[in-house]
Structure 1
Amino acid sequence: MKLPNYKTFLAVPILLLFISAGILITQYSQTGEWFQRSIELKGGTMITINTENRLDTANIERELREKFHPINVRETRSFGGYGTLIETSSEIDPEEILDELEAMGIETEDRSIETIGPSLGATFWSQAQLAIIIAFIFMGIIVFVIFRTFVPSVAVIMSAMSDMVITLALMQVFGIELSLAGLAALLMLIGYSVDTDIMLTSRLLRESEDKTLSDKIRRALKTGLTMTLTSIAALTALLLSAISPVLSQIAMVLIIGLTIDIMNTWLMNSVVLKWYCEKKGLI
C-alpha cells in the first residue's frame, strides 16, 4: 500500500488556522471585537459572592437581566467552597444588584466588589497588546540569531503565531473571556511553543549526519511529546483542583494552546523542516 506524501499533513494545521481566522472574523463582524474581553481589559464591575453551597447561576442571571443590562453570571470553585461572579457595566450601582440578590434570598455578606473604569481597562488592553508584540519581536530575533537561516526560522515563528490564533479562536468557541490571566497564559504559550520548535529544528539541522532524517524526527518527537504531555498533565491537575479562578483560567488556556502546539509542531513545522532538509541535501 502506498503511503501518503508527508507534505499532505500540512493541510490539517492550515485548514484549522483558516477556520480559526474565520471564527475571529465572525466575532469581529458581530461585536466589533476580535474576541471577548473580561472587565479587566474593557472596564466594568465584578461582584464576587462566596458561599458554602452552589448557587443556581443560570436562574440568578435570568432574574438579574430583567432589571440590569449587561449582566453575566458564572460560577467558580475552590477548596473553601463556591463562588459566584457577577460582571456588569461600571455605570450600574453594585449595591442595587446586591439588594436584588438579597431579595432573592441569597446571602451576600461574604462578598467583594471590583470596579475598573473604561479608561483604565483600555490602558490595560493597550499594554497587554504591546507586551505580546514585544514578545513576538524578541522571539523572532532570538530564533534568527540561533539558526541564521530563513526557512527554519520562519517555520518556528509561524508555528507560534498559529498556536496563538487557534487558541484565541477556541477560547471564543468555549466562551473563555480574555483576561490578564489569559494574556499571561498566551505569553507562556509562546515560550512553550518556541521551546519544542527550537528543539526539533536543532535536532534536524545540527545533529550528527550518521542518523537519517526520519530517525532524527522520531527522536525529537519522543522528546517533544514527553515534554508537552507532562506539562498538560500538570496543568490538568491544577485545573481540576480549582484553587483559584485565575490559576484555573491560566491552566485552561495553556491546555488548549499546548494541545494545538502538538499539531502545529509535528504536522506543520516538522513537515516544513523535512522538506527544507531534503531540498538542501541535509539527509
Structure 2
Amino acid sequence: MKKFEGWYNTNYKKLLIVPILLIILFSSYMIYFYNQNNDFTKRDVSLSGGTSITLQTEISADEFTEALSDVFPDIEIRTLTDNTGKQTHLIILVPEEKDKIIEAIESKLDLEITEENSSIEFTQGSLGDEFYRQLIASMLFAFLLMGLVVFITFGESKIIKAYATILTLIAMKITFPTIFAISFLVIFGMIVTPIYGLYFSSSKKSKWILLGLFVSFVVFYIFPYYPIVFIIAIICLWLYARYSAPSIAVLVAAFADILFTLATINLIGMKLSSGGIIALLMLIGYSVGTDILLTSRVLRRRNESVNSACLGAFKTGSAMTLTAIASIFVGLMFIYRFETVLNQIFIIILIGLAYDLLNTWLTNVLIIKWYAESKNKYDKVKK
C-alpha cells in the first residue's frame, strides 16, 4: 500500500492525461454527430413534433413495421406487455400528422382506430422545438446556478461572490423573463446582494463595479438581450477559475458527466425525450453532491493528510453512488417491459452515475489533490 501511495504521490498529475483524452474524444464525437444531424442528439416526437398512438392490438410490432415502413421510414414502434410477457399494446411514433398514420393503419392493416382501443397524442413541430429550447435553456442555466453555489461554498473573496451572484441574477432574468417566482427571487437577490457587497467592499473600485453591475441589471431587466447570457457565463467561469480552483474542478467533472452521457446516448441510438432532459438535470444535481462531498472533506480536513481525506471521501461517495446505481437498476428491471418514459430516465441516470464514478474519483480528485497540496506549500512558504 505504501509503495502504491508513493507512486501515486509522484505520478498523480500524469493521470490527468486520461480524463483530458476522454473529454477530447467524446467532444470530437459530439462535434461529428452535430455535423451529421444538425443537433447534439436525436429527439423523439415529444421534442421534435409528431404523433404518438398507443394502440390496443394483438398484431405484432414486426407486422406493423413491415406494413408501414415504406410510407413512414422514420416510424418507431414499441411493445407493451403484461406481467406474463403477453403483448397488450403498441406505441407507434411517427413525425407526421395523426390523420396520415391513422389512415395508413386502417387501410394497410385493416384495423379500425377508435377512442376505445387507442390513445392519440400530437405535438406540433414548432411547439416541440420551443419546448426543446426551453429545456436546453433550463439545463444550461442549471450549470450556471450550480457553478454559483459551488463558488459561494468554496470561494474566498466575499466581494467576488457578490459580483458572480449579480451576474447570475441578470442571466436568470434574461433567460426566464416571464416566470413570476424567478422574477421575485431575482428582485430579492438584487436588493440583498449589492448591500452585502457594499458591506464587504474595501475600495472605491469595488463599489463602482457593484454600481455598474446594478445599472446593467436595470438595463437588461427592461431590455432583455439573450446573447448576453453567454457573455455572463464566460465571465463567471473566469471568476471561478481565477478565484476558486475547486469550483472549476466541480464544474469540469459535472460537464464531463453530461458530455459522456450524451455521447453514449447517441452511440446506442436512443432518441431523447423530455423525460431524458429531466434525467440529465437530475444527474447534474447528483454529480455536484459527490463532488462537493470530496472537496469539503479535503479542504476542511484537520490533522489529516490529503490522501487520507480523499480516501475517506471515496468510501462515502462511492458507497452512495453504487447504492443509487443498484436501486435504479432494480427499478429499471421491474418497469422496462412497460416502455414508459421512466425507462429512458432510469437508463440515462444509470449511464450518468457510472461516468460520475470516473469523473469524481479520477478527474475531480486529482485536481483537488493538486490544489490542496499546492495550497499547503504556499501556506508553509508564507509562514
- TM-score under structure 1 length normalisation: 0.90
- The equivalent position to 1:162 in structure 2, one of 225, 247, 256, is 256
In structure 2, the residue matched to 1:234 is 327
In structure 2, the residue matched to 1:68 is 72
In 2: Cα distance, 1:99 partner to 1:278 partner: 71
Shift in Å, 1:108: 10
Shift in Å, 1:107: 11
- The equivalent position to 2:55 in structure 1, one of 49, 52, 72, is 49
Q: Which structure features the higher share of helix residues?
A: 2
In 2: Cα distance, 1:21 partner to 1:165 partner: 7
- Which range moves more in the overlay, 19-28 or 266-275? 19-28
In 2: Cα distance, 1:106 partner to 1:59 partner: 17
Secondary structure at 2:40 match in 1: coil
**Mapping of 1:83-102 within 5 angstroms?**
83-91=89-97, 93-100=100-107, 102=109
Contact 2:106/2:113 (<8 A) preserved = no
Secondary structure at 1:281 match in 2: helix
- The equivalent position to 1:218 in structure 2, one of 280, 295, 311, is 311
In 2: Cα distance, 1:107 partner to 1:237 partner: 36
Shift in Å, 1:34: 1.4
- 1:198 and 2:292 matched: yes
- 1:138 and 2:145 matched: yes
Shift in Å, 1:87: 1.4
**Mapping of 1:1-283 within 5 angstroms?**
3=7, 5-50=11-56, 56-77=60-81, 79=83, 82=87, 83-91=89-97, 93-100=100-107, 102-103=109-110, 110-148=117-155, 149-208=243-302, 210-242=303-335, 245-281=340-376
In structure 1, the residue matched to 2:207 is none
In 2: Cα distance, 1:104 partner to 1:9 partner: 61
Secondary structure at 1:12 match in 2: helix
Secondary structure at 2:73 match in 1: coil
In 2: Cα distance, 1:206 partner to 1:142 partner: 17
Structure 2 unmatched runs, 5+: 156-242
In 2: Cα distance, 1:15 partner to 1:277 partner: 24
Residues 102, 186 of structure 1: alpha-carbon distance in 2 compared, 3 angstrom cutoff = same
In structure 1, the residue matched to 2:218 is none
Query: Could you list the per-position Cα deviations for residues 20-67 of structure 1 after superposition, in whole angstroms to 9, with x for gaps in the alignment?
Result: 22222222121211110111111011122245x7x6534532331122
Residues 75, 219 of structure 1: alpha-carbon distance in 2 compared, 3 angstrom cutoff = same
Q: Report which of the two structures shows the higher radius of gyration computed on alpha carbons.
A: 2
Contact 2:53/2:121 (<8 A) preserved = yes
In 2: Cα distance, 1:146 partner to 1:74 partner: 46
In 2: Cα distance, 1:151 partner to 1:258 partner: 24
Shift in Å, 1:8: 3.0
Secondary structure at 1:34 match in 2: coil
Residues 70, 259 of structure 1: alpha-carbon distance in 2 compared, 3 angstrom cutoff = same
Letter in 1 for 2:130: T
In 2: Cα distance, 1:78 partner to 1:274 partner: 52
- Which range moves more in the overlay, 144-153 or 94-103? 94-103
In 2: Cα distance, 1:199 partner to 1:106 partner: 54
- Which range moves more in the overlay, 232-241 or 19-28? 19-28
Secondary structure at 2:79 match in 1: strand
- Which range moves more in the overlay, 157-166 or 105-114? 105-114
Letter in 2 for 1:281: N
Query: Could you list the per-position Cα deviations for residues 179-208 of structure 1 after superposition, in whole angstroms to 9, with x for gaps in the alignment?
Result: 110011000001100000000000000121
Contact 1:24/1:34 (<8 A) preserved = yes
In 1: Cα distance, 2:107 partner to 2:257 partner: 43
In 1: Cα distance, 2:331 partner to 2:115 partner: 28
In 1: Cα distance, 2:118 partner to 2:310 partner: 54
CA root-mean-square deviation = 2.6
